[in-house]
Structures are given as C-alpha cells and as structure tokens.
Chains A and B, each alone.
Chain A
C-alpha cells in the first residue's frame, strides 16, 4: 500500500520536475528576451536624459566661456555640480545602486538651473513632464 502511494507520489514528482526543467529552460530563454526589451527601453530613456543634460550643460558652459558674466555665480556653480553628476553616473552599469540617487540629484539641479535662467527646457517624455502627459 505504501509502495503504491510512494511510487505514485514519485511519478507525480517526476512529472513536476520534468515539467519544471523544461519550463526553466524555456523561461531562461524568454527571460533574456523579455529582460532585453525592458532594458532597451530603459537604457534609451536613461541615455536620452543624460545626453540631454550633457547637451544643455555643454551649451551653457560654452556660453560662460565666451561671456564669463552671462550667468550668476550660483548658476555657474549649479552647472558645475551637474557636470560632475553626469560624469559620475555609472552609465554602463545599470545595476549600480547609486544610479537613482544621482539621477534624482540631477533632476533637482536641472530644475533649479532652469528656474534661475527662467527657461523651460523639457521634452515630451521627460520624466517630470511625462507624469502629467501620461494621463490621457
């Protein structure tokens, strides 16, 4: 009686395990591809945002170079801070724990620089503005 019970359990366990192994291998394959799709989107967005800041700062820094007094010293300091933050961002290491913290600081600094310069520099898809645009 126990034999039957045991062997029945074993067989069921074998089928579970057999299914599990097949599923695991398929899961590995599809996990790579699904993860990649998410990574493609995320990487593009992060790259875009960093490139955007870099481009703005390069223009501002160039402006300061041709006209050292064009911005207040406070703004110049903020631009320098942003410059360091972008340089510090571990762009090739998405798993680095510091990425969110650096990105948050960048966004804050950028907003304060834009407010000081009295310009609105955003694009459709920019993280802050997108929150409002996603509503529709």
Chain B
C-alpha cells in the first residue's frame, strides 16, 4: 500500500527511496536507479561514457582509479560500487532502448516532414537540364524521321544535315539512365569543383569540370548552333515557364 501523503505529492529522493524499499527487495535497483537520477544536477540521466563499463569489468575493485564526475555518488564499499555499476548498465540499457525507439520514430517523422521539400529542390535543379537534353533528342529524332524533301527544306546544306544525323545517332545511343548518370556525376564533380575553388580561390575552374557533364551540355550546344544555321527550323531553345 502507498503510505499516506506520498501519492500525489512532489517527488523527492527520500520519498522515492523509502517507498521503493517498501515495494520489494528483489527490485531494489529501482531506488538506487532513481535516487541516482534525481541527484543528477540537471535532472537528466547524464549518459555515462561506455568506457566506464569496460573499466569496471577489468578493474572490479579499483574504484579509486575512476576520475569520473559522478564519483561522489558511488558507494564507498567496493561491493556496493560494483552493484551500482550493474544498475548503471541496466539503466543505460533501458535508456538506450527507449531512446532508440524514439529515435526511429523521430527519423521517420522528420523524413516525412522534409522529403517533399527536398524533392522540390531536386526537381527544380534537374528539370531544366533534362528539358534541354530532351530537346536535343526530340529535334534530332523528329528530323531524322522526316522525308528527305522536307529535311532539305528545313536544313539547307548537306553538311548540316549530316551533322544533325550524327548528333541524332550519338544522342539516341544514350538512354535516359545514361544521361541521368552523366547529369548526376556532373553535379557531384561540380560540388567538388566548388569545394576546391573555395579552398584555392581559383577563379577560372570551368575547364576542370567533369567532361561527362559537359557531354550533355555539348550536345545541347551543338543543337543550338545547328538550329542557328538553319533559319527554317524554329526551335524554342529557351524553356519559358
């Protein structure tokens, strides 16, 4: 039974101790556990560095060697100290258990909260590059499929028609996955370029960019110049949305 005056009153170490001792002796770790917690200055369970456990295993009765902040809290007799380290371990285990459960739920909730924002960031980062790349695909593919008569009206010189054709072949040999990989590698190397730029403060790093990323851009540049030389081809080079 709960002694009068304990239930519903402010928790104090004394009350915890006295009442818990009354509960059962085989669960007497509880009083040591909680009285210890309540004595901790910030009221939180100061996580004990795991090193202590190893130490307590290897130097069971050499408590004097500890230079731990909480040393004053430990009992003076070696037996009691060892026991308390056992309690501490149990306490730490439970702490870790609940912390881990909470952490997992927190990670899930945090991810859910920010994934859409991240998605939008990535989307805006890539949609324009993808569009330019798709434009090269579309123009060269559609042109390649036109009857020769129409092709000649749209692209004046044989040389440029050949260039359009070879651009089509190069581009067509790349799948979306290939292109995406080029793009992705480019982002990564761009980042490392930015990084080394800030470190070395070199202003002209354009030439140092990953050639694979340049490949996508080169194709687009080639399309631009071919379209530019073919006035009959009216292509919306600029993405205007």
Contacts and interface: CB of A to CB of B under 8 A. Distances in A.
A94 B139 contact: no
A43 B179 CA distance: 13
A124 B134 contact: no
Interface string B1-35: 11000110001000110011001000000100010
B135 interface: yes
Contacts of A12: 94, 98
Contact of B15 (A3, A20, A58, A117): A3
B129 A44 contact: yes
A33 B132 CA distance: 24
Which of the listed residues B16, B123, B176, B241 has the most CB atoms from chain A within 10 Å of its own CB?
B123
A43 B23 CA distance: 63
B102 interface: yes
Contacts, number: 311
A20 to B, nearest CB: 4
A69 to B, nearest CB: 11
B138 interface: yes
Given A40-B184, A55-B135, A124-B175, A67 B129 contact: no
Contact of B106 (A23, A52, A55): A23
B234 interface: yes
A3 B21 CA distance: 13
The range of chain A's interface size is 35 or more
Contact of B130 (A14, A21, A46, A121): A46
Interface string A19-34: 1111111111111111
A27 B110 contact: yes
B193 interface: no
Interface in B117-141: 117-141
Contacts of A4: 16, 19-20, 23, 30, 34
Contacts of A132: none
B149 to A, nearest CB: 8
A36 interface: yes
Given A15-B102, A18-B99, A40-B123, A34 B175 contact: no
B111 A34 contact: yes
A16 B101 contact: yes
Given A8-B34, A53-B134, A124-B174, 16 more contacts: A1-B2, A12-B98, A14-B44, A19-B103, A23-B103, A23-B104, A27-B108, A47-B130, A48-B133, A51-B137, A51-B138, A55-B136, A58-B138, A58-B235, A67-B150, A125-B175
9 contacts: A4-B30, A19-B106, A47-B129, A47-B130, A47-B131, A53-B138, A55-B140, A57-B138, A125-B179
Interface of A: 1-4, 7-8, 11-12, 14-63, 65-67, 70, 89-92, 94-95, 117, 119, 121, 123-126, 130
